[in-house]
Structure 1
C-alpha cells in the first residue's frame, strides 16, 4: 500500500485486521501505524470498521489498550500546563441523568488553588451535556481559544469549554465510526476514547465518575468496575494520577433534569444548599481531586464559607456569562401528582432521562438545538412519603404538544407503595485506584 505521494507504508491494513480477527496481539508499531494511517485517510473507513469489530469480538490486552490510547493522543496536540505554577486536576463522568456535578465541582476544586481544565461535551440522547447546561447562562461561551483557556486557568482556576479540533482527532473519527457499526459497547474502545481526550488535555490528575444503573451506559456493577479499572490503568500507564468512583445512576441525580434547571440546582449547592446526593457526590469527587494533587483540605468547607460561589462567579464571568442574570424558563409546565398515599420507592433514571430529552432538553443528532428551559423538576425523591394528590414532578417545555408522549413514556417510571424502601447508604458505591 502507498500514499498518494507514493511513499511506501510499513504495514498493510488487511494484515492488521486479520491478526486481530485471529486473536493475535497487535504490536506497538502496528497500532501506531493503523491509528495514524486512519487519521491521514490511508486506512479506509470500511477497513477501520472491520478492525473495530475484530477488537469488539476479541478485545485488547492492557498493553495494547495503553498503546491504542497513546496513538490516539499522538494523532493531535497534547496540551501542557506545567508552566501555570499550580497543580492540575480534572474529572470525567461517563454520563447520567441529572448529572450536574461538573458545574459545582469545578469552581469548588479551583477555590483551593488547583487549575481544572474541564473539556466537556454536549448531550446526546438521554444523557445531558455540560456545555448545553452552561449555555443556558446568558452570554456564556463554550468555544474559547487555548490561549484564553490558559489565561482563565491561571487567573481564575477553573474553565469548562469545548475541546479543540486538534485534540485526539483520531478518536473523533473512530467514535463516529463505532456509532454506526455496532461497536460502541466495547470496554477497550470506550476506555481509550475517554482517556485519549483526557490525557491530551494535559491534566496531571484525573478522577473518573463511572455511573452504574439504568440511566448509565454501564447497567451493572461488574461491567462498570471493569471499565473503571481499565481507564485507571490507562491513566496510570500514561503518567496521570488516576482514580475512579463507581456511583449510583439507578435514579436521577438530584431533583432536576434539564439544562437551566440543573444550573439552578448547582448554584444552590455552591450556596451551601442543594440536594443531599448532589452535595455528597460533589464533595466526594472534590476530595479525590484534591488528594491526587496533594492538597490537604476538606472541600465541604468551601461550600459553606462562600469561596466556591466566588469561584463560580469568576468562572462564568471569564467566559462571557452573567452570573447575576436570570436563567431561561420553559413557557409550559405540567404537574404529575401521586395517585395514592405511600412511599415513593422507585424513579427510573433512564425513563426520566428520555422524558427530559423528549421535552426538548436533549438532542437525537449532534446538530439538533436544545431548549434551555426544558426538563423535569422532581418534587419528591425515593424514600419520601407522599399523599394522594401531592405533586411528584413537573414537566417543563416550550412545546406543550410534547406532553402526551412524555407522560405515556413515564407511566412505569415511578412507584408509590405502602412499604418503606431501604435507605440508600451512599451515592458512591465503590472506589478504584491506589
Structure 2
C-alpha cells in the first residue's frame, strides 16, 4: 500500500505504524518531506563547520558521512570496510563523488553531487601490488581539486583514511586536518525535515518490536526473535541493523552479548537494543526488556524499576543550554551494586547512526568525558543497563528524545512494563 498521502511528522508517525499493522506492508513511493530540502540542509551544515575549522576542502570516506553529504548510496555496509567510495566537499566549489565503479545513475538528480568520478581504489583487495600507485593517483586528483577551488589554501580535513592515502595527499603538499569532528558536529543538529524522516524510522522500528513481542514465547531462539525485527524493517522500507544486541535469561548479564541460538525459556528476561537504520537512512535506537512469561519475579521487578528510574530521572534533567558536564553531574547516581556493569555512556547523539555527543557518567567524566552544550535540534538516546555483577539477569532500557527550545520531546513511544513498578 502506498503512503503517498501520509505525513510522517509529529503524531502522524503513529498513523504510519497503524497502517503497517493493518496492511502488513507499505511501499515508500514518496517521502514525507522534500528530500532535496534535507539534502541541501545537511550539505550546508557541513560547510558551516568547515568554515569554523578554516578548511578549504573536506574528504569523507565514512559511509555515514558520505550519505549525510550527498544522500548518494551504494552498498553502504560493504563500502564501509573498503576505501571504495569518498566525497570531496569544497568550501567554495563543487561536491565531487568518487564512487566504487562507473555507476553515475546512482547519483542522478541529487542536488548535492556536482561531479561524478570513479575512485582509483587503492584498497588491497582490488589493487593488490598496485595499491601505492593508485593511492598516488587519488592524491593527485584531490590535490588538483584543492588547487582549483581551495583559494590558495592547502588545508584539507579528512574523516578517515589509511596511511597510503594520507601519505599520497601529504606528498601533494596538502595539510591534513581532522575531519570526523567536522562531520559529527554538523550532523548533531537536525532540521524539521530530518526529524520527520527520523519519526518514520522510529515508527517502522516500533512496529518491528510489536511483531517481535507477538512471537515471543518459550522455545523460540534469540536469533529467530531478532530476525523478526530485520524482516519488518526491510519489508517497510528500512535499510539495516547495526548490531545483534538481543539476549535472554543469564545471557543478559553482563550486557553486550549478541543474539545466539539459545532457546528462550519461560520466565526469562529478554533485553534488546534496536540500533536500526530504517527508511531514509535514519537510526531508531530504542531498548526494552520483556519477560517470556506472565509474572516477573521479585529480582526482575527490582532491576527493571531501577533501570526505569534511571531513564526517567535523566530525561527529566535534560534541558537545552546545559553543558555536558552539568548534565552528567545532574544525572541519576547509579547505586554501588550496579556501578561496575554500568552502560558506557549516559546519553549519546543519534541521527544517521549513533553520533556525537557521548555524555559520560559522572564517575567517568574526569578521565573519559568532554564538554559541550545541549542544543535545540539535537536528538539523543538516554541509556540504562542495570545488573548486579554475578547476578543472573540484567535490564537494558533506552529512550530516543529531541531537544526543543523549551525542553525535551520523546520520539519513541514503545511502552514500558509499568505494571512491574
Q: Confirm or deny a common fold (TM above 0.5).
A: no
TM-score normalised by length of structure 1: 0.24
Name the TM-score, length of structure 2 as normaliser. 0.24
